[in-house]
Amino acid sequence: MKWTGPLSRPRFIWCAGHVLWITRAPSANKPAPFASPLFTALLDSSDSTVTSTVCVTAIIISEKRRKITGETIVYDRYARLDNSDREEALAFISRRPELNIILLYNIQMFGMDQGDTPFHGDYFGLRDDSGLIAAGVLFNLGSLFFYAVEDEAIEGMADYMLDLGRVPSFMNGKASHFSKILEGLSGKLDYTFSQILTDQMALRGSVQEGVDTECARPSRMSDIATLVEKQVALEEELFGGASMDDVSLRELLSWQVRKGAASVAEREGLIVSKAEATVLKGTGAQVGGVFTRPAFRGRGFSTACVADLCKRVLNEVDLVALSVEKENLASHRVYQKIGFQKVDDWMIVALRPKSSSRENRPGPG
């Protein structure tokens, strides 16, 4: 079997029913990422293209099939991304900004190298010959965000995440993608998965006229304790428990109030509804954390709160996105009244160890 191609990154080759790791030789000043007493194939890559005949006993490695050329099947694998991949990653996920505001925001604000804040994380991606076809991050905060151009690119992603030695407490993304990720994690973790199918919706341009926002105002730092309380209540209602500890939650909400956007709706001085947004100027905003006290639902407070938030955000961006539970018809009516339209099928997942209580659920890191 012959293989011809540039050795610009590690490759897998199919040979005699098995997968071989082909990588740069040590002379390329890079250590071989895979070595085995059974087999290591190292090719001297002094030229940009190498042609070699491989006839060896192979090691079986489960990886993603990317291309078939004659008798050769070339594989790529998920690999860590860092700041050297920043521009490529931004260009890739900017193809669908209405799905990727969180990824775009954090890459631009914090970069792709690991750091010591909750908003840094472990970035990873999958490439084919055209470049990135999948990219994601497991934040120190505990949440996982991920985007791929096709469902097939998800294969192998769950195993890569497990190899990191970290399990997310919260996942958010395209339903077809995260269904495959959950399949990959099934049976490998002693965790419960609480999943909600949602619609990802987007608003472009402006809030529809006639929406009353008189009872709403911007959130203040003095509201943080109440916002944390309401966020915990929201996650208890959705997932049966909070997805992160109170310290991480307070830090996240504080950041959104100070650096993003947040609104509350009041009744006689009592905060009865809330919503926050992550805002990337010039690109878009992602709304989340929408919650109204049960006793005040169906009275227009959520509509006022989200509309107030969107009006202010749309002074800085042209796009606002959010996700809403598919079965929550009342919320669909609220968002459609404001001007939102569905753009994709979405999924939200909370993961918790089966033996855990709220106090020892995964937090940052």
Looking at every residue in the chain, the average pLDDT score rounds to: 79
Structure tokens at 317: 């961006």
Sign of the torsion formed by the C-alpha atoms of 63, 68, 71 and 76? negative
pLDDT at residue 18 greater than cutoff 80? no
Beta bridge partners of 284: 280
The pLDDT-based confidence of 248 (bands split at 50, 70, 90) is: confident
pLDDT at residue 112 greater than cutoff 70? yes
DSSP state of 314: T
Beta-carbon contacts of residue 214 (< 8 Å; ≥ 6 apart)? 304
Does 202-353 match 80-196 at the fold level?
yes
Per-residue pLDDT, 356: 56
Least confident window among 65-74, 107-116, 209-218, 236-245: 65-74
Q: For 57-109, write each residue's pLDDT tens digit.
A: 322 333 333 444 444 334 358 999 999 999 999 999 999 999 999 999 999 99
| Exposure string over 18-55, b if 16+ CB within 10 A, otherwise e | ebbbbbbbeeeeeebebeeeeeebebebeeeebeeebe
Structure tokens at 342: 């569905």
Query: Which one of 2.40.160, 3.40.630, 3.10.450, 3.30.300 gives the CATH number of domain 80-196?
Result: 3.40.630
Q: For 328-361, write each residue's pLDDT tens digit.
A: 998 999 999 999 999 999 999 988 888 754 443 3
Structure tokens at 326: 């598919």
Closest by CA to 312, choosing from 304, 324, 301, is 304
Helix (H, G, I), strand (E, B) or coil at 246: helix
pLDDT at residue 7 greater than cutoff 70? no
Beta-carbon contacts of residue 41 (< 8 Å; ≥ 6 apart)? 20, 21, 22, 23, 54, 56
Q: For 120-158, write each residue's pLDDT tens digit.
A: 999 999 999 899 999 999 999 889 999 999 888 988 888
Domain ranges of the chain: 2-76, 80-196, 202-353
* Residue 238 burial (C-beta neighbours within 10 Å; 0-12, 13-18, 19+): middle
Name the helix (H) or strand (E) containing 110.
helix 101-110
Per-residue pLDDT, 332: 94
Residue 125 to residue 79: CA distance in whole angstroms = 6
Query: Which one of 3.50.30.10, 3.60.15.10, 3.40.800.10, 3.40.630.30 gives the CATH number of domain 202-353?
Result: 3.40.630.30
Per-residue pLDDT, 343: 97
* Structure-model confidence comparison of residues 23 and 170, the more confident one: 170
pLDDT at residue 20 greater than cutoff 60? no
Structure tokens at 332: 């669909």
Per-residue pLDDT, 76: 57
pLDDT at residue 364 greater than cutoff 90? no
Least confident window among 157-166, 204-213, 217-226, 315-324: 157-166
Per-residue pLDDT, 21: 34
